[in-house]
Chains A and B, each alone.
Chain A
């Protein structure tokens, strides 16, 4: 089957660094994406890893290891507005399959 597993909840302190992990099982894998979703809002695209390694976009970085079927999203200098749900996802034949999701709570 196809699945992407994430921790359900993570809590971190404002200004700190947090890592959200994603392990996946799939065929026809083209790369791993990350989305952010605030309560009541639509998911928005954060990053994409086609190749192994680290991709950096401002305070957010994403990592992929195909050999380990594993990726993570790294959020630095956490802000209160980063409190949201984060989903890893992969695209296969135009369809996007989402991970189980991680609810991040940033505390003062």
Chain B
């Protein structure tokens, strides 16, 4: 298993500001993933973060809005930039095992963001 510490757990932010979310894993992993979950909805993948390279963003998400850092194999940050009320959501980081046949994904407890 993997233990993921994510912080902050929640925040209320003013529109136009930025928030950086941190994710720390207790073991080295090749890939880390960032998801967004809007209230009552499913999880949507924002991007995949690899150590030493630029993150890979999913359709509808761009680096200017959601810059990601991955300085080492146990840590990543997601920044939500120039926030608007539409960014109010839960943001979760996730890791999986590096072998294709191991499908279990582990999640941080999430960051509940409210933009006012």
Contacts and interface: CB of A to CB of B under 8 A. Distances in A.
B96 A33 contact: no
A42 B42 contact: no
B42 A45 contact: no
B105 A96 contact: yes
Given A94-B31, A96-B96, A31 B103 contact: yes
B103 to A, nearest CB: 5
Interface in B5-52: 30-31, 33, 40-45, 48
Given A48-B103, A50-B101, A87-B42, 16 more contacts: A30-B101, A42-B110, A43-B43, A43-B92, A45-B105, A45-B106, A91-B100, A91-B103, A94-B30, A94-B31, A94-B48, A94-B96, A94-B100, A96-B33, A98-B44, A103-B40
Interface of B: 30-31, 33, 40-45, 48, 92, 94, 96, 98, 100-101, 103-110
